[in-house]
C-alpha cells in the first residue's frame, strides 16, 4: 500500500482510506481544514477517514480515531485542533522513553500500512512539512496543507492561521494605544513570527504602529530613540513600537529565550521586546512598557478568511489525494488554489522583502523601520 503505482492511483481496495494529521504548533483554522478534508473524502470520494492524534506522535505511537461525518460537523468555527498536535515529535529524530533520539520513520510507515491508509494529508508549517517531504521520499503517499501564523512557507501566498493571528495582534495594538496615550508612555509589543516579519508587519501597519521592527530589516536603536523623541517634541507624547520576536540590531544577534533540546526546532526566541524597551528608557528617559502576546496569537476563533482558506485548501488537497497526485501541497496563488511541489514548498523560508509594497506604503505615511 505504501508503494505508489505507476499511474499514481490508489491501491485496488474497494473502499479507499485517507488519514489526516495536524503537526507542529496549533493555530486557528486547523479544525476547518480537517473538516474540509474529511467531508470531501466522505461525500465526494466515498473514502473512510482516519484521524491521527497528536501529529507525528500519533503516527509513531499508532494513536488513531475513525472520523465520521458527525465527528467533523460543527467544528468550522473552533480554534485549535481536536486531533491534537505536537511540535516535538519528528519520526526521524524521535525522543524515546529513555530520552534518546532514534529514527523511527520506518515504524511510522509500518503503522500507516497497518492502518490501511492509501494517503495521508499533513497539515503543518515548514518544520512539519519538511518531515512530510522526507516521509514522501520514503514511499508514503503524502499531500500537504500549509498552516502557520508566521506565514513563512514558500510556494503559497498565505497560510492557515496567519490572518487570525494578525487580527488578534492588531486588536492588542488598538488597546495599547489608549493606555499609551493616557499615560504618555512608549509601548513595545512583541509578536511571534520566528525568522520572518510578516505578522509584525501586517499587524503593525493595520494597528498604526509608529515603529515596526522586523528580522529582515536590522534596527538601529539610535534611530528608534530619535523617532520616539521626535514624536514627543511634536506633541505626540506616546509611541507604539511593534517588534517581531526574530528582530535583531544591526551587527547584533537575535534574542533567544531558551533552548529545548528535545524539540526538532530547539531555539525558542523571545525577549527582544524587553531589550528594546530597556534601551529606549535608558536613552530617552521616557517611561516604557512591554507587552508580549505570546500564545494568545495562536488561540481563538479562526477569522472568516482563515475558515474560507482552510476550506478551499482542504477540499483541494483531498481531491489531489483521491487522484493520486502525491508529493504536492495545496497552495494559495493569487486568488486561486493550485498544487505545488512539496519539495519547492519547504526548500526555503518565505521572508519579507525590504522593498515590499506594504513597507513602502507604511513609510509613505510616516511609519519608521528604524534602519
Q: Which three cell numbers stand for residue 31?
A: 479544525
Q: Which three cell numbers stand for residue 117?
A: 491508509
Of 330, 347, 348, the C-alpha closest to 156 is 330
Which residue is it, cell 481496495? 13
Is there a catalytic annotation at residue 150?
Answer: yes
- The CA distance from 296 to 26, in Å, is 11
- The CA distance from 371 to 219, in Å, is 5
User: Which of 150, 163, 306, 319 does the annotation list as catalytic?
Assistant: 150
Length of the chain: 371
Q: Distance of CA 229 to CAs 173, 239, 339, Å?
A: 20, 9, 50
Name the residues annotated as catalytic: 150
Amino acid at each position: 500500500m505504501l508503494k505508489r503505482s505507476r499511474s499514481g492511483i490508489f491501491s485496488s481496495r474497494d473502499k479507499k482510506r485517507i488519514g489526516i494529521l495536524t503537526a507542529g504548533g496549533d493555530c486557528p483554522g486547523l479544525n476547518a481544514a480537517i473538516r474540509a478534508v474529511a467531508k470531501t473524502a466522505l461525500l465526494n470520494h466515498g473514502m473512510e477517514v482516519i484521524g491521527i492524534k497528536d501529529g507525528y506522535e500519533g503516527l509513531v505511537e499508532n494513536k488513531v480515531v475513525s472520523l465520521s461525518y458527525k465527528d467533523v460537523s460543527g467544528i468550522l468555527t473552533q480554534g485549535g485542533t481536536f486531533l491534537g498536535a505536537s511540535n516535538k515529535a519528528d519520526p526521524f529524530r524521535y525522543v524515546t522513553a529513555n530520552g534518546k533520539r532514534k529514527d523511527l520513520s520506518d515504524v511510522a510507515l509500518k503503522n500507516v500500512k497497518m492502518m490501511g491508509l492509501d494517503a495521508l494529508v499533513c497539515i503543518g508549517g515548514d518544520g512539519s512539512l519538511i518531515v512530510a517531504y522526507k516521509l514522501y521520499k520514503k514511499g508514503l503517499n503524502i499531500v500537504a496543507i500549509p498552516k502557520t501564523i508566521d506565514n513563512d512557507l514558500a510556494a503559497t501566498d498565505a497560510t492557515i492561521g496567519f490572518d487570525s493571528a494578525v487580527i488578534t495582534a492588531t486588536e492588542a495594538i488598538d488597546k495599547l494605544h489608549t493606555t499609551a496615550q493616557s499615560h504618555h508612555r512608549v509601548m513595545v509589543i512583541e509578536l511571534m513570527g520566528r525568522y520572518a516579519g510578516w505578522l509584525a508587519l501586517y499587524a503593525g501597519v493595520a494597528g498604526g504602529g509608529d515603529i515596526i521592527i522586523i528580522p529582515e530589516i536590522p534596527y538601529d536603536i539610535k534611530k528608534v530613540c530619535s523617532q520616539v523623541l521626535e514624536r514627543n517634541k511634536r506633541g505626540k507624547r506616546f509611541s507604539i513600537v511593534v517588534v517581531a520576536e526574530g528582530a535583531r540590531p544591526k551587527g547584533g544577534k537575535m534574542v533567544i529565550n531558551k533552548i529545548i533540546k528535545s524539540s526538532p526546532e530547539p531555539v525558542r526566541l523571545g525577549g527582544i521586546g524587553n531589550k528594546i524597551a530597556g534601551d529606549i528608557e535608558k536613552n530617552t528617559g521616557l517611561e516604557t512598557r512591554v507587552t508580549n502576546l505570546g500564545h494568545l496569537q495562536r488561540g481563538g476563533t479562526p477569522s472568516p478568511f482563515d475558515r474560507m482558506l482552510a476550506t478551499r485548501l482542504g477540499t483541494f488537497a483531498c481531491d489531489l489525494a483521491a487522484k493520486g497526485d502525491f508529493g504536492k501541497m495545496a497552495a494559495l496563488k493569487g486568488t486561486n488554489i493550485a498544487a505545488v511541489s512539496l519539495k519547492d514548498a519547504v526548500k526555503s523560508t518565505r521572508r519579507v522583502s525590504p522593498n515590499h509594497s506594504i513597507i513602502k506604503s507604511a513609510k509613505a505615511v510616516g511609519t519608521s523601520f528604524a534602519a
